[in-house]
Structure 1
Amino acid sequence: MSQGQGDSGEKSHEPTHKRLEDARRRGDVAKSDEVTVAAVYLGLLVGAAAGGAALMSGGGAALAALLGTADQLTGVVLGPGGRGALAGIFGTILAAVAPLFLLPALGALAALVGQQAVVIAGEKLQPKLSRLSPLASMRNKFGPTGLMEFAKRLVKMSAVSALVVVLLSAEMDRVIGAVAGTPAGVAALMLSLVQKLLVGVALLSVAIAALDLAWVRFDHRRKLKMTLQELRDESKESEGDPMLKAKRRRRATEIATNRMLADVPRADVVVVNPTHYAVALAWSRKRGSAPKCVAKGTDEIAARIRTIAGESGVPIHRDPRTARSLHATVDIGQEVPPDLYRAVAAAIRFAEDMRRKMRERNGGLP
């Protein structure tokens, strides 16, 4: 296989903007679930802090009441109408802590929006037999993405377990002492432990989310990398039919030519070959300035320049050598080079003499 063929089959080129947008329309976006999880934990923390002691004490009081009357509630819950009584108890607890769940929900939504992961793609909803393929499932589980997911979950589980062990070890005296405490004290201790655990888990989730987001974005771009042939095909598709490209180029050239020809009437002189070259020069006569080229062309364009110059009363000076030199060395809008000053000055003098003679023939009229 030739080197060129090898390069064209290797996905070593970064995805283009169009490829990324096409993937997004299919619902294939770089979305980290860990970012959403971290946002939920942070929302819980902010909600607990913003809600103040009222939310905590309300939930604690409800839980304390539940624990304090546990022996009495047994008969009520297990007796007739016990389902309604149990629903009322848990309804009271949920009503006290319900505001805590608003910010986590908003945090999850903000995480999705921030990752630009809110995409409605019909292709994702269509049933595909490939999703039931055992081989595809094995590739997903034991490929780079699957191994990364396994490592991530293992790290999370180990870190959270270690966090729980450290927290319980530090609070073991309080936990043992709570056995002889009041129900309100037990509830307060439980809430305190949950809050500390939540802080640790939230910080851990933020760290994992940062690493996971970097990996997800890297892996997303890796999967969308392109071969050289794919780049060429996309370029052809984006630029369109070669005939249309040629037509657009001709149109652009025609527009540029028309703009150039529109400046011929304001030229001071047109230097010609006399048939193959024509260069129109304009001089502002400002101190330190030199004549500028306002239009130039060969053959058909040169003929159009001469025609417009004749219709506009712009003098035409025949100097084949100067015309060729100007056409070769001076672009539109540029001043003539110093080595052509003498020849251009002669052309300007010729034009002024022509205009002076024309005024004399017209009786001094311009």
Structure 2
Amino acid sequence: MAGMRLDLQFFAADEKTEKATPKKRQDTRKKGQVPKSQDVNTGFLLIMVFGTLFLLGGYMGGTMEGMYRVAFSEYIHRDLTEELTHSMFVEMTVEISKIIAPIMGVALIAGIASNLLQVGIMFTGEPLKMDLKKLDPIKGAKRIFSARALVELFKSLLKISFVGVITFSIIWVNKDQMMMMSQKSVQVALSFFGTITIVMGLASALALLLLSVLDYTYQKYDHEKNIRMSKKDIKDEHKNIEGDPQIKAKIKEKQRQMSASRMMSEVPDADVVITNPTHYAIAIKYDETKSSAPYVVAMGVDFLALKIKEVAKSNEVVTVENRPLARALYQHSEIDQPIDEQFYKAVAEVLAYVYQLEKKM
């Protein structure tokens, strides 16, 4: 039973039930793993492109009409030479660029803007790295028959249905006018069918944009689910950030040893060591060039206090027993810092006694 409880605790600790930490989110973002919907890009791109066609359709049609007029009224009567071919190619390229450039520019801006809206500014080459795990046929089969694949299939069918219904409805509403275009001029027919095409494109783009809201919500939910962490993961992350407790303890112990060694080297220069007499030892020094008040050069309790007293004795530093003062100095003082103002009088009396004693000696 005890073993079973341990197994259950292990599985519970390893179950990914916790929200991702900020560090985990940052790490996944660096790898290019962010919630993103391609439908947002597609819908935004289509609505911008068809909007541009709606606004600049007259200008584009006029430019194309001018190209045909020049080609069939001027170029057709000229002799075909190398210079004429070159000039025709350059002029036609310029005219076509005038038509294509606005659409390409808007498409580029739409693509960048839709990505910025979803993921912000992000530069990473992690998705481009070679990963042999992606070639694993077993994992590939699991992805094909996964719940995510079914969701993507449902989304595709939904998009096709929406776009199909919208385009069919627009064609059905305008079917009578379409039939009458055979009696109209070419220019009127082209204008009508161009308008119908733009209306279908804008309506389909709006439908895709509405569907993309649902898709982005799902992508965000799925991303949050995939980056969930277990309690063990969170503990391991804290260990990595803050350092292993055992290593930290060893570092602190080393630091204490170095600090104690440095303190012991200062004791021979102290003016007095105040003790309580066995548990506490505080080495005091007064140097007007360093501080206007006496300051602590070393202090310790128990074993460290004993070491301070031994070093003081071997270097003929005066030791004075004052139990309440030693305990109070230890609690309210720091190494290499002046003593608190409340101890000025008591320490001054001790130093005066020490100076008188050294003067007699």
Which bracket does the TM-score occupy, shorter chain normalised?
0.5 to 0.7
**Aligned partner of 2:45 among 36, 40, 43:** 40
Cα gap change, 1:258 to 1:165, in 2 (>3 Å) = farther
Amino acid at match of 1:130: I
1:30 aligns with 2:35: yes
Q: 1:34 offset after TM fit, Å?
A: 1.8
**Unpaired runs of at least 5, structure 2:** 71-92, 287-293
Q: CA deviation at 1:6?
A: 4.2
SS class of match (1:31): coil
TM-score scaled by length of structure 2: 0.62
The alpha carbon displacement at 1:223 in A equals: 1.6
How many angstroms apart in 2 are the aligned matches of 1:170 and 1:55?
A: 27
Matched with 1:127 is 135
Matched, 1:200 2:203: yes
Aligned pairs (5 A) from 1:1-366:
1-2=4-5, 4-16=9-21, 19-20=24-25, 28-45=33-50, 47-48=52-53, 53-58=58-63, 97-99=99-101, 100-109=103-112, 111-112=114-115, 115=119, 116=122, 119-123=127-131, 127-133=135-141, 135-138=142-145, 140=146, 143=147, 145-165=148-168, 167-168=170-171, 171=174, 174-234=177-237, 244-253=247-256, 271-279=274-282, 296-299=299-302, 301-302=304-305, 318-327=321-330, 329-330=331-332, 332=334, 344=343, 347-351=346-350, 353-354=352-353, 357=356
| Displacement after TM superposition at 1:201 (Å) | 3.3
- Amino acid of the structure 2 residue aligned with 1:137: I
State which drifts further: 169-178 or 302-311. 302-311
Output the CA distance in 2 between the equivalents of 1:170 and 1:260: 95
CA 1:297–1:176: 2 relative to 1, 3 Å: farther
Q: Which runs of 5+ in 1 are unaligned?
A: 66-90, 284-290, 362-366
| Cα offset, 1:303, TM superposition | 6.0
User: How far did residue 180 of structure 1 move?
Assistant: 2.5
Work out the CA distance in 1 between the residues paired with 2:139 and 2:310.
Answer: 72
Using the size of structure 1 for normalisation, the TM-score is 0.61
- Pairwise CA distance, 1:230: 3.8
Contact 2:143 2:149 in 1 (8 A): no
Please provide the CA RMSD for this pair: 5.3
Which residue does 1:287 correspond to in 2?
Answer: none
Q: Does the 8 Å contact 1:63/1:93 carry over to 2? A: no
Distance in 2, matches of 1:97 and 1:154, equals 34
Same amino acid, percent of matched pairs: 21
Question: Does the 8 Å contact 2:163/2:204 carry over to 1?
Answer: yes
CA distance change for structure 1 residues 169 and 355 in 2, over 3 Å: closer, same or farther?
Answer: farther
Aligned length: 321
